[in-house]
């Protein structure tokens, strides 16, 4: 369950984390009122469960309430990552001395939480890790002890802070750990955590993702935010309703498979041959003609898709059903991107005969199929 920034900040404040003064607005007139209440230049931020909103134009600075109203009107009319912006957060524009990154997530290899900090906040932590890994400080958390105060101070020192700033920053780490512990958080970030020129630390941003499997323990959160736990775009909603596992990625090749392991392996094979997946779509076991056709339809709705790779391992799923679904999708949906098919297993011969009869080429190994779809995308076919 992902929380909006303003929802996460409400929890932050309840744990004693300072945030910039301001409030939520759902209309331009309300944005103007919030800016008047702040009484200083403000930032107008789209409240949407998507990253890179600044690059999308969802963050603007306003010197007057009139400007805040104007920018709010523009932002509320936007869609970011295909999600509508239904609210904006109006907050005081801060006088920044330094931007800091503070976060916590799960390290599945170590089977532990890991606290992360960097004195170079304000940019994507993934980009920072690639360009300047030495600037990222990490501490794994002993699950039996939790995150200790001395560990938080050590992190602040390793991040380059001195004097009173050490205790101020370590307090953010400690409070963030308390939130993670109480709410079964999978991921939380403050990026940036601002050190102002007058020496204050303020959470200028807030990200908080709660484990869906723990929501029965946190009904107070759902009651407080008064909305459904899940925020999805139309494609995600359609896939979820049909019991498919669907995740959108940054590439341009939609991978449609049956089984999470096979889907992950297919994504790896595509990358091995120089491509990038746009879609992780696991049809699940027992996929029939209709399910295959619907899966292809959902994949095609994503505008990044330049090709489709269907990779099926027939068990309880029958290859002839899959083939009939592929044919139906081609005939009904008017597919305009290349589609590469690989399927083996139950009724493999019958399925391949159906595809051959319909003039749809197929391959029998995942490696060949991944290589072929990447080749077609690079050729622009």
- Identify whether 101 is a catalytic site residue: yes
Q: What is the DSSP string of 190-251?
A: EEEEEEETTS-EEE---EEEE-GGGGGG-HHHHHHHTS-S----HHHHHHHHTT-EEEE-SS
What φ, ψ does residue 145 adopt, rounded to 5°?
Answer: -115, -25
Which one of the listed residues 5, 67, 91, 101 is annotated catalytic? 101
Q: In 3-state terms, what secondary structure has residue 108? A: coil
Q: In 3-state terms, what secondary structure has residue 186? A: strand
Count CA atoms closer than 13 A to 207's CA, side-chain side. Answer: 18
What φ, ψ does residue 189 adopt, rounded to 5°?
Answer: -140, 145
Which one of the listed residues 69, 189, 236, 348 is annotated catalytic? 189
- Identify whether 302 is a catalytic site residue: no
Instruction: Kindly state the helix (H) or strand (E) to which residue 98 belongs, with its residue range.
Output: strand 96-107
Q: 216-223, long-range: CB within 8 Å, 24+ apart, which pairs?
A: 217/184, 218/183, 218/184, 221/1, 221/3, 221/11, 221/183
Q: In 3-state terms, what secondary structure has residue 27? A: coil
Q: What is the DSSP string of 242-290?
A: TT-EEEE-SSSEEEEESSHHHHHHHHHHHHHTT--EEEEEE--TT--HH
Contact status, residue 42 vs residue 62, Cβ threshold 8 Å = yes
Contact status, residue 291 vs residue 329, Cβ threshold 8 Å = no
Q: Is the peptide bond before 192 cis (omega within 30 degrees of 0)?
A: yes
Contact status, residue 85 vs residue 105, Cβ threshold 8 Å = no
Of 182, 170, 187, 11, the C-alpha closest to 113 is 187
The set of catalytic residues is 101, 189
């Amino acid at each position: 369950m992902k929380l909006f920034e303003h929802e996460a900040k409400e929890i932050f404040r309840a744990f004693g984390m300072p945030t910039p003064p301001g409030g939520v607005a759902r209309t331009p007139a309300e944005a103007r009122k919030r800016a008047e209440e702040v009484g200083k230049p403000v930032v107008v931020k789209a409240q949407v469960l998507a990253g890179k909103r600044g690059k999308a134009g969802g963050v603007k600075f306003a010197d007057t309430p009139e400007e805040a109203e104007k920018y709010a009107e523009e932002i509320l009319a936007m869609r970011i990552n295909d999600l509508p912006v239904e609210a904006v957060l109006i907050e005081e524009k801060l006088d920044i001395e330094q931007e800091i990154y503070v976060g916590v997530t799960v390290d599945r290899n170590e089977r532990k939480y890991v606290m992360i900090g960097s004195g170079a906040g304000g940019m994507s932590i993934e980009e920072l890790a690639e360009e300047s890994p030495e600037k990222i400080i990490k501490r794994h958390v002993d699950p039996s002890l939790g995150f200790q105060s001395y560990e938080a101070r050590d992190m602040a020192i390793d991040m380059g802070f001195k004097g009173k700033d050490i205790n101020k920053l370590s307090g953010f780490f400690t409070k963030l750990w308390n939130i993670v512990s109480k709410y079964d958080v999978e991921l939380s970030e403050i990026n940036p955590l601002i050190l102002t020129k007058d020496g204050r630390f303020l959470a200028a941003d807030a990200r908080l993702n709660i484990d869906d499997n723990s929501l029965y323990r946190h009904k107070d959160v759902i009651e407080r935010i008064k909305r459904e736990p899940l925020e999805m775009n139309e494609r995600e909603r359609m896939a979820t309703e049909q019991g498919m596992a669907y995740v959108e990625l940054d590439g341009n090749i939609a991978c449609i498979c049956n089984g999470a392991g096979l889907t992950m392996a297919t994504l790896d094979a595509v990358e091995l041959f120089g491509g990038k997946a746009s879609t992780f779509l696991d049809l699940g076991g027992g996929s029939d003609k209709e399910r295959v056709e619907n899966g292809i339809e959902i994949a095609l709705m994503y505008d990044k898709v330049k090709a489709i790779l269907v990779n099926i391992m027939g068990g309880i799923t029958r290859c002839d059903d899959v083939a009939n679904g592929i044919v139906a999708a081609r005939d009904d949906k008017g597919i305009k991107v290349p589609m590469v098919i690989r399927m083996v297993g139950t009724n493999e011969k019958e399925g391949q005969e159906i595809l051959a009869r319909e003039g749809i080429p197929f391959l029998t190994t995942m490696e060949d199929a991944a290589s072929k779809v990447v080749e077609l995308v690079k050729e622009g076919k």
